A and B are shown apart, each in its own frame.
Chain A
Amino acid sequence: MLSNNDTIRIRMKWLTFLLVPLAVALIVRLYVIQIRDHQEYLEKARARYTTTRVTSGKRGEIYDVSGNLLVSNIPCVHIVADPMNLRNPKRPDDQSKRRKLAFLLSRTFEDSYDEFYQKLSPTRFRRDKDGNPVIGENGKAELLPNRYAVIARNVPLDVAEKLKEQVKVNKINNVLTFSDGYMRIYPKGRMLANVLGYTNVVNDASIAQIGLEKYYDTQMTAARGRERFERDRTGRPLPYGMREFQESRDGHNVYLTISEPIQAILEEELDAAFAEWRPATLYAAIADPKTGNILAIAQRPNFDPNVRSTFTPEAARTRIAEDGIEPGSIIKPFTIGKALDWGYVTADTVIDCDKGTWFYLGRPLRDSHPYDTLTVAGVIQKSSNIGTAKVALLLGEEKVYQALSSFGFGQKTGLPFPLETAGLLPKVKRWDGLSITRFPIGYGVRVSPLQMLRAYCALANHGWLPTLRLVDRVEDPATGETVKVKTPPPVQMFEHPAAHQTLVEMMTMVTKTGGTAVKAAIPGYEVAGKTGTSRKYIPGHGYASGKYFSSFVGFVPARDPAFVMLVTMDEPKGAYYGSTVAAPTFRAVGERLLRLMNIPPDPALLPKK
């Protein structure tokens, strides 16, 4: 018979037999969880309370040369709703909150109540890839809970704040989410719009479309940042939690050579000219001949990059760089200037102008006014086609081609316009017999207004041809470090400085009494320039009747120019001579610019009272 002690001992053994394996199992399990699979469980746990926030820097801004803002990013708020949170769990049919919120939104955004009421529907259709509702087995469209409805994007801060307060007062909690964002803005509206370009927003990212926005997209695009942290139940970072932080980087800022005050003057006068002459297109640009810096550049029609409805294909293009036009007489000084430089003619060489009609290879060439003879200076002053063609014949085809190509015709200016045209200056082997009489007077060649501006910079800059500049420097906003955009040094176009001086003197005669552009003259200043009127060539139809390009290009003061300006009108209405339509715009802009630049007039040149 077993004693009490024996019974206890047996029970103890059984208990040990049961407990020891249990303890071992527990230890093994503990080992598996805490040591072997530790990392796996830790990651699972972290995934639950770790969150990642993507931060985005701001896209680079664009400024004028003095730091006036032209393109920026305006803070705004994007508002989305979770309509499921509008439901009353106790009374599913209660739509009072939905109605109240739809009313608030329609009042805030001045939009249709019905539209917002529809957006706030707690259910939405399940849709297939093509966007069509999916029909269920019961023949009805399948419904899904609606947890995400975009209410408004790019809402101004004050409007969003007001809405927030109203929502709070009306106790509509946990329905609207207000997230911070930025919207591309062009504070100066239409000013310089064709050059600046614009961006579209796709999935909250700015996608550059045209203009400088497109050309400098890589530099201006911001780098996204990433913040990973352990959060508490309200979503805030835990004080001692893990935190990884990769900072976002703002895009680089671009500083142009454009001067906003000069640009404003040009745009204002262009508006006046556009209203007066109603041309199909109007181009104008101003440059500093010494540096090649473009001070202002404008075209009509244009658009407001802040208002999408103003975008039209014709208005949105940078046509001043992309369009090639037959320049007409404004190209004459280059052939004649080179003829002077190479010694083929002097200012006093007399040219027979055949009383206004000259036949060459059986084809007539006419002057707008008949002249018997003209000196070479007179050829420029009166803008004689026949006189220029005869000077070109003295040079020969090779020299004429050399003269025109040396001033950059047929070559891109290198400005940051992706679709810039190189124009058209055919090689000599492609010239027909008439080319030598037509190219020097601006027919048969195609030139962009910017190429012409560059060539005139050489005439204004004592013969030195500069490289045009539109972008002055690029700045890293984080460090303040700026990188100057470098250009090659200017090239001298004239072998004899006297030839250049003679040419400039001849061009000053154009704006004096007896010249073709007296309307470009500015009292108190000597203006050198040239008018141009060319019939418009329409591919497939030849030269159109009654359609002209009318231009004036000039620089002032002629001896030490502060700026070079080009004004070109395509199909002006009412008049078509460059001297009538383009020269007054040059004068209007020039007068104001000289005041702005504080360039005093020469008292000797002021009209006597």
Chain B
Amino acid sequence: MKNKPRRQARNQTAPIGGMLLTGLKFLVMLAILTGLVDYYIYLNQKIAETERAILNNRQQLSRTIREIEQLRIHKEQLSAWPHIRAMILRFDLDLREPAPGQVANIAVLSPAQAAVIPLENASNFNPAAPAPGTVPQTPLRRVSRN
């Protein structure tokens, strides 16, 4: 009989504890959910930022490619003979074309290409000796322009 009031009291507090526990569980779930949503938003934001960065880089790349294309054409213009000739005349460079025999062609072979060439050929290698004076060496002529 002594325990009856205590049991009654326990019966009264039990629903409160349960409710608190349920509430706590709900809050934890809510926190997890909020965290997940937050993380999802964060990831989305990061993705958008990365996309923007990619786009900017792509635009930068496109600009650089266009600049390279322009430089390539500029290089072609500068390496064309009319331009080189104009510079030779402008700076009065005493240049002339080489005589046959003064020019040697060197081929840089890949290891695979070099491997198929027999070694004895290397000892027979005899670069064509220059033949100075065999051909009249005329200096570059000035050509009048209209």
Contact = CB atoms under 8 A, between A and B. Distances in A.
Interface of A: 68-69, 72-75, 156-157, 180, 185, 187-189, 191, 236-237, 239, 260-261, 264-265, 267-268, 271-272, 275, 523-524, 591-592, 594-601, 603, 606
Contacts of A524: 134-135
B85 interface: yes
Q: Which 4 residue pairs across A and B have the least CB separation, nearest first? A: A264-B81, A75-B66, A187-B76, A600-B100
17 contacts: A68-B76, A72-B76, A75-B67, A189-B82, A236-B51, A237-B51, A239-B47, A239-B51, A261-B81, A265-B81, A272-B144, A275-B144, A275-B145, A523-B136, A595-B97, A601-B100, A606-B134
Contacts of A523: 135-136
Given A187-B80, A265-B81, A267-B82, 9 more contacts: A69-B72, A261-B81, A264-B80, A275-B146, A524-B134, A594-B100, A595-B135, A598-B101, A601-B135
Contacts, number: 91
Contacts of A264: 80-82
B29 interface: no
Interface residues of B, number: 35
B13 interface: no
A187 B73 contact: yes
Nearest to B66: A75
A188 B80 CA distance: 6
Interface string B63-104: 000110110110011001110010000000000011111010
B131 interface: yes
Nearest to B77: A187
B16 interface: no
A253 to B, nearest CB: 14
A156 B69 CA distance: 12
B25 interface: no
B80 A236 contact: no
Contacts of B72: 69, 72
Contacts of B144: 272, 275
B143 A268 contact: yes
Nearest to A70: B76
Contacts of A596: 97
Contact of B100 (A189, A598, A606): A598
Interface string B46-71: 01100110010000001000110110
Contacts of B136: 523
